[in-house]
Structure 1
Amino acid sequence: MAQESKSGHRLKTRLTEKLGCRYPIISAGMGGPSRSELAAAVSEAGGFGLLGMVREPPALIEKEIAAVRARTDRPFGVNVIPASTDPKLLDEQLEVCFAAKVPAMCFFWSVMPGVVARAREADCLVLYQVGSVADAIEAERAGADIVIVQGVEAGGHVRGKLPLSVLLPEVAAAIKLPIAASGGIVTGADMIAAMAVGADGVHCGTVFLPTPESFAHDFHKRRILDAKSGDTVHTDLFALNWPPNSPVRVLRNSLTEAVGHKLWGHHPDKLPREPIGEDAGQPILKFSTHSPLRTTTGDLEKMPPFAGEGAGRVNKARSAAQVIADMMAEAEASLDRLEAMRA
């Protein structure tokens, strides 16, 4: 377990108080990679782990919640995405989470006040990831406890259209809730920079994706570790399984290269349904949003290698606990540097 550093005391924030964690670091609920091993490892190391249960069957969610609790007694949350989930399945997902008395729920994409109300009634903390000032205000009005502000630099599905450095201070000025910054954050220095303009902590995905605890396929992990700055693209090419006009950020691959500069305008209804792989007995379609997992077989290179703009600075494999320890040490060094400048 990571030891508490000096910066751990200096970085007690509204976020750590609300979530009951030692460090202001949330691991993103990445659908697929963020299973129980990763969520539990992050929480046990002092951060706040999220299970990524996007459109997963209730039985798997129940199993993964139990698996987290078998690994740690620290708080964690479950991430689902109401806007991209069949209403019946969403209802079943929520009921499983509420029955298991999970400490927190995290929601993403368009704000749905009714879902927030249900979670609050079940005594769950509610984190809502948003990509605009308007959505942040709506999440606050709906009763969310924490808002995650996503900049356009983020990997995976991207709600934000502005750089985090622009959007974050605007949201901080508009709402009173604790804020976690998301998008391109992979170091403790990034965390301190975000906190300087309004964040109470950070929400990170790409930096945790190559950890051994991540359920991502080794192929995807290697793509992250080999990435250079500027290797990601923002596109709607990987559009199947999500509503239209749902951009993603991925590392370039053969599919993005094949379309050249035509990275936009790929409506899911106009894309072919061509199987390129399989996972858990289900086909994976070309242009779908399914990234390769440990259990995935097929043409992995054509599947979306989700990654944020910070991927170029993630160049060595580390455990989730080491990622958190490194980020806190980097944060400590950044604070020391700033204090020395004031002396």
Structure 2
Amino acid sequence: MRTEICETLGIEFPLLAFSHCRDVVAAVTNAGGMGVLGAVAYTPDQLEKELTWLDEHVGGRPYGVDVLVPGKIDESAERAGRGEGGLDTMLAAIPEEHWTFLRHLFEKYDVPMPARTPSSTGNARSGGTQVTKEGATALIDVSLAHPIRLIASALGPPPPQMVDAARGAGVPVAALVGTAEHARRQVAAGADIIVAQGGEAGGHTGEISTMVLVPEVVDTVAPIPVLAAGGIATGRQMAAAMALGASGVWCGSVWLTTEEAETAPAVKEKLLAATSRDTVRSRSRTGKPARQLRSAWTDEWDGPDSPGALGMPLQMIIAQGALNQIDKIAESGHPGARALANYFVGQCVGYLNAVKPARQVVYEMIEEFTDALDRLNRLSGTDGAAVPGPG
């Protein structure tokens, strides 16, 4: 396949895989697509280790990094990012009523309560404490010190420091959007590639569906190449995206049930059993609307007794340590923890009904994509078959 995205990124298939798991990123890259590592949960030192591992396992093949750079975050987090109090400043900004609600939630579901820090569960990740301008800049610097072929801005226009640094390194900048207006802003900010992400997508997403959004964004930013995202988990959907004018696709949810995925075992079981109706857009994990598997966690935080989600990254800090604990306890079969457990996932979760190697997922999507194109060619008569006329 020789789309503009393939030429720009040096990949065989116009299939980009967003994942927080380095093993998925490496598997997709080595299969001919491009893996993109989500860096939000890592400290700079942790990201350095992950990217060094990737460099050693992809044999020079192209991969990318996605950095979350929100346009607006809680003021206390900004102060902490400038070194004014650090993590203690962020923790102090979380109202006591939220800790009380969380404690009652754990008591209700009979789950042991973790301490009040993102690292309390022993997880190496930082629970959202990197979601500051300073934290994101450090992740950008680490990323561009490696031979990445793409850097993406996950929220809001890419900041000037990202664009300037990427330009200097010869690395294209991608940016995710949920509206045509967002796309205009991203291009004006210097984005080289636009990811039009429909509301079906997992994680942070808007409300406009992929089928509507992609052609609107394609027309708005032409000739800038566009990747389609949101609900794409099959080759047929990939073909549809290309028919809408996209130069490739950006997929995330489809990798969550692969053999390599970082998904907690209890959550993976829930994903495999879920239907496309079992997701919800909720602020309960990050403070911004993010599509995820509906569970007791989302029901309680979005319910009438909730104090409401905090802004980013404070909700991430309070949620990450709690959910790490929930996932750990859920592995033992604890019913309360299993009821609460969830993860970011899109409406395509209904397609995720078997555990497969990520490489197999890539090949199956490409094979189905080719079959879909053959079918369209037969319908149009371009394979030599006659096209039925009116009547």
- Greater fraction strand: 1
Please tell me whether residue 79 in structure 1 is matched to residue 66 in structure 2: yes
Matched residue type, 2:294: R
Aligned position for 1:111: 157
Q: Residues 188-199 of structure 1: matches in 2 within 5 Å? A: 188-199=235-246
Q: Return the alpha-carbon distance in structure 2 between the equivalents of residues 276 and 141 of structure 1.
A: 35
Matched residue type, 1:147: I
Please tell me whether residue 26 in structure 1 is matched to residue 16 in structure 2: yes
Call closer, same or farther: CA 1:276–1:149 in 2, change over 3 Å. Answer: closer
What's the CA shift for 1:238?
Answer: 2.7
**Unaligned 5+ runs, structure 1:** 1-10, 278-282
Aligned position for 1:163: 209
What's the CA shift for 1:219?
Answer: 1.8
What's the CA shift for 1:142?
Answer: 2.1
Call closer, same or farther: CA 1:263–1:63 in 2, change over 3 Å. Answer: farther
- Higher Cα Rg, which structure: 2
Aligned position for 1:329: 367
Call closer, same or farther: CA 1:90–1:219 in 2, change over 3 Å. Answer: same
What's the CA shift for 1:197?
Answer: 1.0
Could you tell me whether the CA contact under 8 Å between 1:35 and 1:64 is conserved in 2? no
- Number of equivalenced pairs: 313
Q: Return the alpha-carbon distance in structure 2 between the equivalents of residues 76 and 56 of structure 1.
A: 17
Of 192, 195, 218, which residue of structure 2 is paired with 1:145? 192
Q: Could you report, residue by residue, the CA deviation over 1:218-247 in whole angstroms, capped at 9, with x for unpaired residues?
A: 2222222111121111222334xx4xxx10
Q: Return the alpha-carbon distance in structure 2 between the equivalents of residues 293 and 136 of structure 1.
A: 39
Aligned position for 1:255: 297
Of 330, 352, 355, which residue of structure 2 is paired with 1:317? 355
The TM-score, its normalising length taken from structure 1, stands at 0.83
Of 139, 154, 158, which residue of structure 1 is paired with 2:201? 154
Of 247, 251, 261, which residue of structure 2 is paired with 1:200? 247
The TM-score, its normalising length taken from structure 2, stands at 0.73
Q: Could you report, residue by residue, the CA deviation over 1:139-170 in whole angstroms, capped at 9, with x for unpaired residues?
A: 22222221111101001121x22001111111
Please tell me whether residue 88 in structure 1 is matched to residue 88 in structure 2: no
- Greater fraction helix: 2
Partner of 2:42, secondary structure, is coil
- Measured on the aligned residues, the alpha-carbon RMSD in Å equals 3.0
Q: Return the alpha-carbon distance in structure 2 between the equivalents of residues 75 and 250 of structure 1.
A: 29
What's the CA shift for 1:119?
Answer: 2.0
Name whichever of 14-23 and 219-228 sits farther off: 219-228
Q: Could you report, residue by residue, the CA deviation over 1:50-80 in whole angstroms, capped at 9, with x for unpaired residues?
A: 1111041111111111111111121001111
Matched residue type, 1:24: P
What's the CA shift for 1:327?
Answer: 0.2
Q: Return the alpha-carbon distance in structure 2 between the equivalents of residues 268 and 199 of structure 1.
A: 35
Aligned position for 2:321: 284
Structure 1 runs (4+) deviating above 6 angstroms are 259-265, 272-277
Please tell me whether residue 40 in structure 1 is matched to residue 26 in structure 2: yes
Q: Could you report, residue by residue, the CA deviation over 1:12-53 in whole angstroms, capped at 9, with x for unpaired residues?
A: 21111111110011001x4xxx22211111100011001111
Q: Return the alpha-carbon distance in structure 2 between the equivalents of residues 260 and 38 of structure 1.
A: 32
Aligned position for 1:172: 218
Identity of aligned residues (%): 32
Please tell me whether residue 185 in structure 1 is matched to residue 239 in structure 2: no
